[in-house]
Amino acid sequence: MGFLMNQERQRRTKPVPTRMCIVCREKNSKRALTRLVRTGQGVQVDPSGKLDGRGAYLCDRESCWDRALSGDLLNRALRVNLTAEDRERLKQAKPQP
């Protein structure tokens, strides 16, 4: 009986974590989206997805990045007021087409 239970455990696969882009609201795997995180040093891109702090996700579409950086979507999602430095740092980190 123990052998069968081990085989069942081995067949199970971990679910893929999904997240949603704060602009277009499309769901995708966590690794396919870019995480932005609020830290003590301001808002930063989190390539590892493991930094401490409140996070928000953006897809790689240029239009989503433009809307997030020009409006107040990031302010609301991260519960912070983005500074000009934060916006400039994030514009530099924007994925290139």
- How does pLDDT run across 41-88, given as a tens digit for each residue? 999 999 999 999 999 999 999 999 999 999 999 999 999 999 999 999
What is the pTM for the complete model shown? Answer: 0.83
Query: Looking at 7-74, which runs of residues are DSSP E strands?
Result: 18-20, 27-29, 34-39, 42-46, 55-58
Report the alpha-carbon distance of residue 64 to residue 76 in Å, rounded.
15
Q: Sketch the domain layout of the chain as residue ranges.
A: 17-93
pLDDT band at 5 (very low <50, low <70, confident <90, very high): low
Residue 39, strand partner residues: 42
Domain 17-93 in this protein, CATH class: alpha beta
What is the amino acid identity at position 67? R
pLDDT at 2: 54
Closest CA to 59 of 48, 50, 49, 68: 68
- Token digits for 55? 């996070």
